[in-house]
Structure 1
Amino acid sequence: MAPKKKVERGAQENIALGPQVREGELVFGVARIFASFNDTFVHVTDLSGRETISRVTGGMKVKADRDESSPYAAMLAAQDVATRCKELGITALHVKIRATGGNGTKTPGPGA
């Protein structure tokens, strides 16, 4: 078998993600938190709601099914979302909290 050719790569440039803003200017996003009695969703979009920046659930952070809707799982999900928002340069969030509603209870679950 012939030896593999080595590919030389040039110097990597710093890639800036997110919008170009001036110093001290706020970049807003919308954090939609859906807290049911079975799971907690934290979904961050841009202001129009069309571009998803980050979406993390409580079930993605804990192993046990019974802990998906716990406040601890919601806290871990919020930490991941905050880290991703900081990477992309989002400095402010509008928070919208939603519960299950309908014929059932209108109060959010324990993860809200």
Structure 2
Amino acid sequence: MTEDTVPEGPNRLRRAKADVEEGHPAHIHHHNNVLMTATDLTGAETICKVSGGMVTKGGSDSGGQFASTRAAERMAEMLAEKEFNQVIVKYRGAGGNRSHSAPGATSAIRALTRAGVSITRIEDVTPVATDGTKSKGGRRGRRV
């Protein structure tokens, strides 16, 4: 079998998957501030790092949608300077029981896409509580 032919059987999918170039993870941590970090695939080497406080003046504005959009645009510029064009987005929210996702995470992902960065995969790596303190409302929930 030559290199140009597509293999037959169950190994053909593995071969095709191995030819796809993987991106570099872009970690988006979000609660009161937007923290965006682009690393290599192992996570040991940091390529660039941007936060919402670096792009806004007000301290309370650093966790909003505007700050996350501006931070994503700046990260896209830094990645373009270093000639990276593919990323894997790993989003991390607040975590715990009954937690809501932060408002600026989706706008940051949209801004990365608009800036020309190709997103290979989006993963939600928000920590989920397996056990712990009793949730508000008790076992049967709030009764009205």
* Same fold by TM-score greater than 0.5: yes
Cα distance, 1:102 vs. partner? 2.5
**Is residue 49 of structure 1 aligned with residue 34 of structure 2?**
no
Q: Runs of at least 4 residues of structure 1 off by over 6 A?
A: none
Q: For residue 66 of structure 1, what is the aligned residue in structure 2?
A: 60
Residue-by-residue CA offset, 1:58-104 (whole Å, 9 max, x unaligned): 11110111211111100111111111111111110001111011256
Shift of the 26–84 alpha-carbon distance from structure 1 to 2, 3 Å rule, reads farther
Task: Supply the AA of the counterpart residue of 1:109.
Answer: A
Q: For residue 88 of structure 1, what is the aligned residue in structure 2?
A: 82
Task: Supply the AA of the counterpart residue of 1:79.
Answer: E
Q: For residue 35 of structure 1, what is the aligned residue in structure 2?
A: 30
Q: Unmatched 5+ residue regions in structure 2?
A: 1-19, 106-144
**Superposed CA RMSD:** 1.7
Task: Supply the AA of the counterpart residue of 2:51.
Answer: T
Structure in which a larger fraction of residues adopt helix: 2
Query: Structure 1 vs Structure 2: percent identity of aligned residues?
Result: 35
Q: Structure 1 length as normaliser, TM-score?
A: 0.70
| Aligned equivalent of 2:69, options 66, 70, 75 | 75
Q: Unmatched 5+ residue regions in structure 1?
A: 1-24
Task: Supply the AA of the counterpart residue of 1:46.
Answer: D
Per mean C-alpha deviation after superposition, the further-off stretch among 26-35 and 63-72 is: 26-35
Q: Which has the higher contact order (CA 8 A, sep 6+)?
A: 1
| Aligned counterparts of 1:26 and 1:90: Cα–Cα separation in 2 | 12
Task: Supply the AA of the counterpart residue of 1:93.
Answer: V
Residue-by-residue CA offset, 1:15-74 (whole Å, 9 max, x unaligned): xxxxxxxxxx956211011111x1111111011111101111111110111211111100
